[in-house]
Amino acid sequence: MTRYLVSAGLARLADEMVGVAVLLLVLSRAGSGLFAGVVVAAYTVPSVLSGPLLGAWLDRARRPVLLLAANQFALAVSAVAMLFAPNALLPALAVVAGATLPMTSGGFTSVVPRLARARGTPLDRATARDALLFNGAAIGGPALASALAVGWSPVVAMASIGALSLVGGLCTTTLRVPPHPPDAHPSLWSAVRRGLRHLAATPPLRGATVASVLAHGATGLLFIALPFRLVELGAGDDRTGLVWAVLEVGCVVGILATRRRLARWRPERVVFATTALHGGTLLLWPFAGHFGVLLGVALVSGVAQGPTLTAVITSRQRYTPGPLLGQVSTTGASLKIGAFALGSAVGGALVEVWRWPAGAVIPLVAACQLLAASLGAIAARTRQPAPVTP
C-alpha cells in the first residue's frame, strides 16, 4: 500500500492547493473579487457532472491506473497553462482542473479494496489510512499554497501544483491494481444509470450519502462565515486557514482514536452519529469570545467529525459491488463538492447581501449538520437488510 499512499497523497495535496492558489493568482493578476469568484466557481462546479461519467469509465477500464494517472497529468497541464494564459481563458482552464476533482478523491479510494486484497492488508486498516490521507492533504494543501504565494508568489504556488500532479501521476503508473472479474460491459451511459440507480436504491448507502452531502453543504456556509467571525473576534481574517488546519488536526486525532473500534458498528450509523455530534460542537463556536478559545473548540469539532470520512468510505465499500465502486465513489465526491459550492453561495448571500452576523450563521451550520444526520437516518430506513459486498 505504500505506493498507493504516496501516489494518492501527492494527488490530493496538489488538489487541495488549487482552490487557494487559483484565488490568489486571479486576485494578483486581475484584482477583481468578482472575477476571482467566477474562476473558483468554474473550478468547483464541473465535478458535479464529471464524477458519474469518470467513475463509470474507471470501473470499465482494464488498466485503471492509467486513467488515474491521466487525470493527474490533466491537472498538471491545466495548472501550468494558467500561468501563461490570458485572463479570459482562466475560467476554461479552471473547468479542466475542476473536472479532475472526483477522480483524485473517489477514484483513488475505489481501488483500495482491490489493492488491500492483493497485499493481504485488512480493509479497515487500509481505509483508515486512506481517510488520514484526505485529512493530511486538507491540512497541508491550503497551508502550502498560502505559504508559497505569500513567501514567493501565486505563480510559484501554481507551478508547484503542476509539479506535484506530474510526480503523482508518474507514481500512479507504478501501481498494480488487480482487474475486476470478467463481465459483460454495457454501454457507458447504461453503466452510469446502473451506478446512480444503485446509489439511490440501496438504503444504508443512500442514507450515508444524504447525510455526508448535506453536511458538506453546511460546511460551505461555515467556509464563508468563518473569516467574518474572526473579524468579529478581532483576530483578522488572515487566520482562517489556521482554524481549518486545527479542525483537520482534530479529524486526524478522531480517526486515530477510533479506527480500531469502527468495525464494530455499521458505517452508516457512524456517519449519522458523528455528523450529529459535529453539529453539536459547532453550537459552541459562537460562544468562543477569544481566538485561542475558538481554536480549542475547532479542535474538539474536528475530533467529533474525524470518523465520518472513514465511515462514508466504508459504507461505499460494504454496500457496493466491486464493478460499481469507482462510479459510486466519484459520484459521492461530486455531490459533496457541488453541495459545498451551493453552501458557499448561500453563505455569501447571508453575510454580504442580507447582512447576517457570522455569529448567527454558525448556529445555522450546526442546525444543518443535525438535520443532515436526521435526514440520512430516515433515508437509510429499510425493512430488508442491504446486500453486503464480500
What is the band of 280 on the pLDDT scale with cuts at 50, 70, 90?
very high
Same domain, 39 and 170: yes
Establish if 184 belongs to a structural domain: no
Same domain, 63 and 114: yes
Q: 151, 178, 205 — which closes off a domain?
A: 178
**Whether the Cβ atoms of residue 289 and residue 301 lie closer than 8 Å to each other:** no
Same domain, 240 and 156: no
What is the band of 300 on the pLDDT scale with cuts at 50, 70, 90?
very high
Tell me the average pLDDT across 262-272: 92
Handedness of CA 288, 291, 294, 296 (dihedral sign): negative
Same domain, 166 and 267: no
* pLDDT at residue number 197: 85
- Which of the 8 DSSP states describes residue 285? G
Same domain, 158 and 228: no
* pLDDT at residue number 387: 61
Residues whose CB falls within 8 Å of the CB of residue 355, separated by 6 or more in sequence, listed in order: none
* pLDDT at residue number 221: 87
Same domain, 155 and 229: no
Same domain, 123 and 228: no
Q: 178, 205, 226 — which closes off a domain?
A: 178
Write out pLDDT tens, residues 136-169. 888 888 788 878 887 888 899 899 999 999 999 9
Q: Is 234 left (phi over 0), alpha (psi -120 to 50) or beta?
A: left
Establish if 216 belongs to a structural domain: yes
Query: Is 354 a residue whose pLDDT tops 60?
Result: yes
* pLDDT at residue number 192: 66
Q: Mapping DSSP to helix (H, G, I), strand (E, B) and coil, where does residue 74 land? A: helix
Same domain, 259 and 169: no
- Residue 250 CA to residue 247 CA, distance in Å, equals 5
* pLDDT at residue number 54: 67
**Whether the Cβ atoms of residue 338 and residue 98 lie closer than 8 Å to each other:** no
Write out pLDDT tens, residues 305-353. 999 988 998 998 899 887 777 778 778 878 887 888 788 778 877 887 7
Same domain, 133 and 209: no
Same domain, 271 and 156: no
- The closest of 323, 321, 206 to 267, measured between CA atoms, is 206
Residues 42/106/252/3 CA torsion (nearest 10 deg): -110
Establish if 183 belongs to a structural domain: no
Same domain, 127 and 224: no
* 84 burial type by CB count under 10 A (0-12 exposed, 13-18 middle, 19+ buried): exposed
Distances from the Cα of 149 to the Cαs of 142, 158, 173, 363, in angstroms?
10, 9, 30, 33
Establish if 71 belongs to a structural domain: yes
Q: 155, 178, 201 — which closes off a domain?
A: 178
- Residue 267 CA to residue 226 CA, distance in Å, equals 30
* pLDDT at residue number 250: 93
Residue 280 belongs to what domain range?
Answer: 193-380
Establish if 186 belongs to a structural domain: no
* pLDDT at residue number 161: 92
Same domain, 135 and 256: no
Establish if 389 belongs to a structural domain: no
C-alpha cell, 135: 485529512
Tell me the average pLDDT across 86-96: 86
**Structural domain total, the chain:** 2
Establish if 222 belongs to a structural domain: yes
* pLDDT at residue number 138: 80
What distance, in Å, lies between the first and last C-alpha atoms of the chain? 20
CATH of residue 256's domain is: 1.20.1250.20
